[in-house]
Structure 1
Amino acid sequence: MTDAAALRDAPAPRPATDGVVVVMPAYREAKNLAATVEDFLTTLAALGHDHRVIVVDDGSPDTTGAVLDDLVARSGGRVIGVWHERNRGYGAAVRTGIRTALERTSMRWLLLTDSDGQFRAADLDALLTVRRHDRADAVIGYRRERADPLPRRVNGHLWTLAGRLLLGTRSRDVDCAYKLLDRRLLEGLDLVDEAAAIDPELLARIGRGHARVVEHPVEHHPRAHGEPTGASPRVIVRSFLSLARVYAELVRDGHKWRRTRALFTPSDPVLALVTLAAVLLSAGAFVHHLNLGTVLLYNDATAHLLIARRVLDSPTPGLAQLGGVWPPLPHLLALPLVWYDDLYHSGFAGSLISMASYTVTVRYLYLTASTLGRSRAAGLAAAATFALNPNVLYLQSTPMTELPLFACITVAVHHLHEWSRTGRYSRLVAASLATMLATLTRYEGWVLAAALTLVVAYISWRRWKSPAHVEAHTLFFGVVAFSGVVAWIGWSQAIFGDALYWLSGEYAKASLWVSSADENIGSPTRSGTTYAWALAHDLGLPALLAALAGLLVYAWRHRLRPAAVAPYTLLSFLPFFVYALCSGRRPMKVPELQGEFYNVRFALIMALPTALFLGYLVSAAPRRLLRLPARAALATAAVATVLAVPGTATLAEPRNWTSGDTARPAAAWLREHYDHGDLLMEGPHNETIAFRSGVPTGRIVYEGSYRLWEPALRTPAAHVRWIYARTLPGWEDRVWRRLRDDPALTRDYTLLFQDDVQRIYRRKEAP
């Protein structure tokens, strides 16, 4: 027995041939193994290739080992069995199989595949043909259509993307278990991974040389028996850690960019660890909510994805599909990924932007708090207070636009604070650019632009006492910072003929979502109380009190000194939202006052000043306590305030609303019965149907379909095959208001679906 593996009944090495060795690891595949091995044996024999099949039982707790014993006994030497005494991981099983193939056979070609029956031997002949025609050293399969549940498909895309970014692999499907390799590529190859990173590591290492590698599609079939192990959170975390280990090995060996070695020797190792922790927390939270099915609970989340998708795929594609209600930056950022169906339908095409923004926000909170408090403990406390908040972790897992705004805000405030301290104009430029991006992300960014411009003017006046300096610096900052506002107003004028369409347009009016009976309207006290309750739900009372104490200490120590005023701008969002509630521009509900959650996420923006000033409070402890153990204890105590957050209010809100989701029956019906043709449907408030129905966005005629919408409303039979109408009394959409009294509707269309909320019609076919 060698290396915890037992080789039984293995044939002696054969003379060098042009045959094929199939290598497949097996773990808990008792019901799939025999059929998979027989498939390859039968196919290879029919093709006339000399062959062997090597199966590595990776310590399976079921009867996989016994099945393998039987296969070896009756194969006539064509099956070689290898048994690990304990489970060592997928990568270790693949390495054992490769080593066995090189040591026990002399065949030139190795096929690496799986034993679960999801890949068939029939595709091998095509790979051998491609290898011969292209004179390839390796033919890498990719799944034409992946026969897995949506979460596993999304995880596969993430895994492939991570392999490309970290290891430079070029495969479109890095973990596809169907790879035909020349043994010369594997001889002397030192593979180190024992988990799922074996596939990207293998491709990265063979891609370093001059090997000719081509890709070819293969079929992927549903599992007949058993459950995959790769979807468990433990396996996912282990896989990403193993990928990081492989990356570190390649960097150490000099096979990756030399500049990336600096990542392992950063000037601030604590910042590097904070960034890494944020990335891992972000990925873990997304996987958690993807498995829970909560990534797309917010209707606005699907609406953001629909806007981005329509830019590329609609009856009238183009940038005009960005519309004029929501600022465009999040939708533009989603364009590179929203084209891929799996990433689009899972929400990851938009969630990735939120996840990256979460990491940026955590990083800059650490930097700013460390500077304010002149202590890494302050930075750690601020970063952890924000990063561990369950409401933040949920929203960063969704395609909502709050996290991109938070990232822009923290970057802008950090650089403005650095400019106020150092006077470096590069910092002022960076602050203005980040502010401009904030104005193109959400309208709260416009408040930020105004607040920061006032701070620039104030600092300039206090520092130089010169109107000329005030004017110069204010213009220097403001021209860039407000360019996004000007561009959005100009867009509204150009596209809709109304510069204020974003404020009072047909689909932007506050009356669409704010009831005239809202008790917050006209009552500053009621509005302030509502927002205070939302703060308590989003951030927790202990964190708020600690942050308030930190703010008071900061204000007492620094007053309104020019070098200290930038962080105060984060407080401007509090009066803004109270005013928005009081004026009827935005609604908000909390259980204590209105009996339910609604728009409670608007209070989460105050997590930024909460984290920052809580971190400052940590640094305000007496100097004699600021030794490393005491700092760690203080930071831990600060982080403990996050544990007092009373649940995930930002998740409770959409769960409450979707529990009575009346759109689901119609969406499910369309998914089953829609076959072809254009569908007439108004967009607002029908986003769930459009997204979940499976109807291609290029087939949905809606109010944004330039020069198609009005003709379809006038004479639908001449333009569309399907009609969806929302018929809920008092909430009818424009399609129903225009067509319900039109006799052509019943003459030309058949009513196929109807409930208390909606109807679906299909055009009658001509005889």
Structure 2
Amino acid sequence: MTKRRTALELLVVGLSAFVANAIMAYLVVFRLNLFLTDAMARTRSAWQVFFSGEPKLANVGFVWAPLPTLLQLPFVLIPPLRYKGLSGNLVTVLAGAASAMLVALFLRRTKLPALLRWLMVAAFVLNPMVIFYSSNGMSEMVVILFVLAATYLYIRWHETGLWTYLAGAGAATGAAFLARYDALFVAVALTMAIGLEALVRRPDRPRFSESSVLMFGAPVAYIVALWIASNWAIMGDPLFFARSIYSNAGQIGYQLTIYTNLVPLKGNLVARRMALAGSAGYRVVSDSVLGGERICRAVGPVSALLHHGHPHGVRAGRRHPSAIRSMANSSGSCLACRPGCLRLQFGPGDAPAHRMGAVE
């Protein structure tokens, strides 16, 4: 009875989150005409796997972490989901719903009252940043899904000691790396936690700690090695994704031509943080210089939506100066003025190739 009740609760949570995310995706795509260039670039790559002049899996590309693009491959074969890049939105809708189910699983293990659990799950699903990234086609919710899965499986290993949970946590962490490269920090953190816990649990058997770390780390290392080998075999550079002209390294060089005063800080993480902390543009500059994927690009548009309603320029889907100024002011940063926040609007008669190509 308990298992059936748990399954029913998870089903209700998943369906409810899916509906909420789908409604938000409709608003983002068809009402706000908001298309983030990172998301559209991944969708275009998935489209090119089947419909380009040279259809091949390598068209997924070797700069973006490949998993969000790979997850779109079944959906781009469905014509309605190629319209306005909806395949990417659907992937994030599903990832957001699955993440909500994992949050419900976490909370169920706390033995909290049912009403409080439901309220906390609702707070997660309806959090403005969560529901926005569960609908916009970006990679954030995919990596959150696999980080949550890895954490849940780690907790189950902590409770039961079963090796299967440890191997599953490693596989989930490897999948998180394929969604965003910075998930390697999660791998490092979990490796340290697992090693220390195993050492405390069996202090007289150091091999137990070693085998625990290997059981978790082997899937992660295998997945990372496969990605590096693919870059090496096809692009001729094992670290093409990290240091090519299209990678984060190339983006750092471009940003340094704009923020020339940051050149002396390049390579000094502590100096960067100390110099930039407290500056108005800290978030955008830090995100650029440190080589991140600019995960907060859309803070400006979201803040403008929450606090100022729908400016005319935003609804029209154009680079309307007053709308962008409103977004920048409401968010307290320069993020809204960056390319990832600009709107692209396509007519219903545009061919898919034109729609996908417009984002470059």
Shorter-chain-normalised TM-score: which range?
A: 0.7 to 0.9
Aligned length: 324
1:292–1:646: structure 2 CA closer, same or farther, 3 Å change rule?
A: closer
Q: Which moved more, 1:477-486 or 1:525-534?
A: 525-534
User: Which residue is 2:274 aligned to?
Assistant: 525
Q: Which has the larger radius of gyration?
A: 1
2:159 is aligned with 1:421 = yes
User: Which residue is 1:393 aligned to?
Assistant: 131
Which residue identity lines up with residue 584 of structure 1 in the other structure? L
2:205 is aligned with 1:474 = no
User: Which residue is 1:495 aligned to?
Assistant: 234
2:14 is aligned with 1:275 = yes
2:176 is aligned with 1:438 = yes
**How big is each residue's C-alpha offset from its partner over 1:113-164, in whole Å with a ceiling of 9 and x where there is no partner?**
xxxxxxxxxxxxxxxxxxxxxxxxxxxxxxxxxxxxxxxxxxxxxxxxxxxx
Partner Cα distance (2:23, 2:294) in 1: 30
Does the 8 A contact of 1:436 with 1:480 survive in 2?
A: yes
Which residue identity lines up with residue 290 of structure 2 in the other structure? G
Does the 8 A contact of 2:252 with 2:289 survive in 1?
A: no
Which residue identity lines up with residue 127 of structure 2 in the other structure? N
1:384 to 122, 137, 140: 122
1:586–1:495: structure 2 CA closer, same or farther, 3 Å change rule?
A: same
Partner Cα distance (1:513, 1:661) in 2: 25
User: Which residue is 2:79 aligned to?
Assistant: 341
User: Which residue is 2:306 aligned to?
Assistant: 647
- What value does the CA root-mean-square deviation take over the aligned residues? 4.3
Does the 8 A contact of 2:171 with 2:220 survive in 1?
A: yes
Which residue identity lines up with residue 251 of structure 2 in the other structure? A
**How big is each residue's C-alpha offset from its partner over 1:664-705, in whole Å with a ceiling of 9 and x where there is no partner?**
xxxxxxxxxxxxxxxxxxxx99x999x88946649x9x9xxx
Partner Cα distance (1:308, 1:524) in 2: 37
Partner Cα distance (2:126, 2:96) in 1: 11
- Give SS of 1:437's match: helix
User: Which residue is 1:297 aligned to?
Assistant: 35
CA apart distance, 1:599: 6.0
Does the 8 A contact of 1:354 with 1:399 survive in 2?
A: yes
Which residue identity lines up with residue 309 of structure 1 in the other structure? W
The correspondence of residues 284-683 of structure 1 with structure 2, limited to 5 A, is: 284-294=23-33, 296-372=34-110, 374-376=112-114, 379-465=117-203, 466-508=205-247, 509-511=250-252, 514-516=255-257, 517=259, 522-525=271-274, 527=276, 529=278, 581=287, 583-586=289-292, 598=297, 600=299, 647=306, 659-660=318-319
Partner Cα distance (1:346, 1:469) in 2: 52
Does the 8 A contact of 1:266 with 1:272 survive in 2?
A: no
Does the 8 A contact of 2:195 with 2:210 survive in 1?
A: yes
Does the 8 A contact of 1:587 with 1:598 survive in 2?
A: no
Partner Cα distance (1:405, 1:439) in 2: 8
CA apart distance, 1:584: 3.4
The correspondence of residues 156-175 of structure 1 with structure 2, limited to 5 A, is: none
- Give SS of 1:411's match: helix
Partner Cα distance (1:272, 1:519) in 2: 53
Does the 8 A contact of 1:350 with 1:399 survive in 2?
A: yes
1:267–1:506: structure 2 CA closer, same or farther, 3 Å change rule?
A: closer
Partner Cα distance (2:104, 2:231) in 1: 38
Partner Cα distance (1:273, 1:430) in 2: 25
1:291–1:599: structure 2 CA closer, same or farther, 3 Å change rule?
A: closer
- Give SS of 1:494's match: helix
TM-score if structure 2 supplies the norm length?
Answer: 0.75
User: Which residue is 2:336 aligned to?
Assistant: none
1:269–1:688: structure 2 CA closer, same or farther, 3 Å change rule?
A: closer
Partner Cα distance (1:696, 1:322) in 2: 17
Does the 8 A contact of 2:276 with 2:282 survive in 1?
A: no
- Give SS of 2:207's match: helix
Does the 8 A contact of 2:195 with 2:212 survive in 1?
A: yes
CA apart distance, 1:356: 0.8
> Quick check: which one's helix share is greater?
2
Does the 8 A contact of 2:83 with 2:352 survive in 1?
A: no
The correspondence of residues 68-87 of structure 1 with structure 2, limited to 5 A, is: none
TM-score if structure 1 supplies the norm length?
Answer: 0.37
**How big is each residue's C-alpha offset from its partner over 1:676-735, in whole Å with a ceiling of 9 and x where there is no partner?**
xxxxxxxx99x999x88946649x9x9xxxxxxxxxxxxxxxxxxxxx9xxxxxxxx9xx
**How big is each residue's C-alpha offset from its partner over 1:49-77, in whole Å with a ceiling of 9 and x where there is no partner?**
xxxxxxxxxxxxxxxxxxxxxxxxxxxxx
Does the 8 A contact of 2:256 with 2:289 survive in 1?
A: no
CA apart distance, 1:531: 11
**How big is each residue's C-alpha offset from its partner over 1:593-646, in whole Å with a ceiling of 9 and x where there is no partner?**
xxxx84649xx9xxxxxxxxxxxxxxxxxxxxxxxxxxxxxxxxxxxxxxx999
Partner Cα distance (1:587, 1:305) in 2: 17
CA apart distance, 1:472: 0.7
Does the 8 A contact of 1:351 with 1:398 survive in 2?
A: yes
Partner Cα distance (1:646, 1:694) in 2: 28
Partner Cα distance (2:176, 2:280) in 1: 22
- Give SS of 2:59's match: helix
Partner Cα distance (1:361, 1:449) in 2: 19
1:299–1:583: structure 2 CA closer, same or farther, 3 Å change rule?
A: closer
Does the 8 A contact of 1:514 with 1:584 survive in 2?
A: no
1:512–1:399: structure 2 CA closer, same or farther, 3 Å change rule?
A: farther
Which residue identity lines up with residue 158 of structure 2 in the other structure? S
1:463–1:377: structure 2 CA closer, same or farther, 3 Å change rule?
A: farther
CA apart distance, 1:416: 0.6
Which residue identity lines up with residue 496 of structure 1 in the other structure? M
Does the 8 A contact of 2:29 with 2:35 survive in 1?
A: no
Does the 8 A contact of 1:435 with 1:481 survive in 2?
A: yes
Which residue identity lines up with residue 525 of structure 1 in the other structure? M
Partner Cα distance (1:490, 1:403) in 2: 26
Which residue identity lines up with residue 586 of structure 1 in the other structure? G
- Give SS of 2:118's match: helix
1:694–1:269: structure 2 CA closer, same or farther, 3 Å change rule?
A: closer
The correspondence of residues 1-12 of structure 1 with structure 2, limited to 5 A, is: none
Indicate the structure whose relative CO is greater, using CA pairs within 8 Å and at least 6 residues apart: 2
Percent sequence identity over matched residues? 24
- Give SS of 1:445's match: helix
Partner Cα distance (1:371, 1:454) in 2: 24
1:519–1:268: structure 2 CA closer, same or farther, 3 Å change rule?
A: farther
CA apart distance, 1:277: 2.1
Partner Cα distance (1:497, 1:431) in 2: 31
User: Which residue is 1:608 aligned to?
Assistant: none
Uncovered stretches (5+) of structure 2, i.e. residues with no partner: 266-270, 322-338
CA apart distance, 1:392: 1.9
> Quick check: which one's strand share is greater?
1
Uncovered stretches (5+) of structure 1, i.e. residues with no partner: 1-261, 535-576, 590-596, 605-643, 663-683, 703-723, 725-732, 734-767
Does the 8 A contact of 1:527 with 1:581 survive in 2?
A: no
1:456–1:441: structure 2 CA closer, same or farther, 3 Å change rule?
A: same
CA apart distance, 1:438: 0.8
The correspondence of residues 7-22 of structure 1 with structure 2, limited to 5 A, is: none
1:583–1:390: structure 2 CA closer, same or farther, 3 Å change rule?
A: closer
Does the 8 A contact of 1:389 with 1:645 survive in 2?
A: no
CA apart distance, 1:316: 1.5
1:442–1:424: structure 2 CA closer, same or farther, 3 Å change rule?
A: same
- Give SS of 1:459's match: helix
